Amino acid sequence: MMRSRKVLVVDDDAVVNRSITRVLSGEGYQVRETMSGKEALAELDHQQYDLVFTDIKMPGMDGLEMTSRVKKAHPGVPVVVITGFGTEANESRARQLGVAGFLRKPLTPEMIIENADRALREREETQEAIRLSALAMAATAAATVPEAAVAAAPAVAPAGRESVAKNIALFFAAPFIGLAYFLAVPFIGTYAVVKYGWKAITKST
């Protein structure tokens, strides 16, 4: 899978560019060559790449300045720095920028392939770690919601259970209440007749 990834090679020396391209293309990588840092940044702005190889000493923008800009604009893209001037200052600055590798010329095919494979493997591992971390955070957030709901449930649950119990009791008691009312109606009617009849008698006397 990694061998089908796209690699951008940046060097003002056409011979070096072709050499790196030949080695990586032979391993299945898709390679694009550029001759300057400015050209490389423009290429990265409109095309996605998985890895960048860059020389340090180039006219105009040097490789370290270009690397700094790549890391700001495309932090997920690893950069391997190549130099024929392997000073400690250059290497220290390159490490501070977070490069994936620092190679000194002359290069061998083994050096190029090993660094390309390692840089992309570390990129894959970092992306997987980020993905797993995001999944863990999402799972934690999802687990918090039911706990909050359970904590809030006792405040409303008793009223709900009491209401349900009342409704069930009324449902079963309704026929008996109706029957009692039906039986009581004659007596209530008789009582009313006697009461008002007695009042009428007492008034007439």
Q: What are 113-170's pLDDT values in tens digits?
A: 999 999 999 999 998 999 999 999 999 888 876 666 656 655 544 445 555 555 555 5
Is the pTM above the cut of 0.75?
Answer: no
Q: How many other CB atoms sit within 10 Å of the CB of residue 202?
A: 8
Of 12, 35, 4, which is closest to residue 124 (Cα–Cα)? 4
Decide if pLDDT at 186 tops 90: no
Q: Are strands 79-83 and 30-34 parallel, antiparallel or unpaired?
A: unpaired
Report how far residue 55's alpha carbon sits from residue 70's, in angstroms, rounded to the nearest whole number: 14
Q: What is the DSSP letter of 72?
A: H
How does the average pLDDT of the chain come out, rounded? 81
pLDDT of residue 194: 41
Decide if pLDDT at 58 tops 80: yes
pLDDT of residue 76: 94
Q: How many other CB atoms sit within 10 Å of the CB of residue 39?
A: 17
Of 7, 21, 11, which is closest to residue 105 (Cα–Cα)? 11
Q: What are the extents of the domains in the chain?
A: 2-130, 159-204
Helix axes 63-73, 88-96, angle to 10 degrees: 10
Comparing 29-33, 35-39, 177-181, the range with the smallest average pLDDT is: 177-181
From residue 118, give the alpha-carbon distance in Å to each of 113, 114, 183, 188. Answer: 8, 6, 95, 100
Reduced to 3 states, what is the DSSP secondary structure of residue 102?
A: strand
Reduced to 3 states, what is the DSSP secondary structure of residue 162?
A: helix
pLDDT of residue 14: 95
2-130 has which fold?
A: Rossmann fold (3.40.50)
pLDDT of residue 87: 82
pLDDT confidence tier of residue 197, bands split at 50, 70 and 90: very low
| Bigger pLDDT: 179 vs 90 | 90
pLDDT of residue 172: 52
User: What count of Cα atoms within 13 Å lies in the side-chain half-sphere of residue 184?
Assistant: 6
Query: Are the beta carbons of 89 and 46 closer than 8 angstroms?
Result: no
Comparing 30-39, 66-75, 95-104, 179-188, the range with the smallest average pLDDT is: 179-188
Region 184-193: mean pLDDT is 48
Percent of the chain with pLDDT over 90: 59
Report how far residue 180's alpha carbon sits from residue 189's, in angstroms, rounded to the nearest whole number: 14
- Non-local CB neighbours of 78 within 8 Å, separated by 6+ positions: 50, 51, 52, 99, 100, 119, 120, 122, 123
Report how far residue 185's alpha carbon sits from residue 54's, in angstroms, rounded to the nearest whole number: 104
pLDDT of residue 12: 95
Q: What is the DSSP letter of 107?
A: P
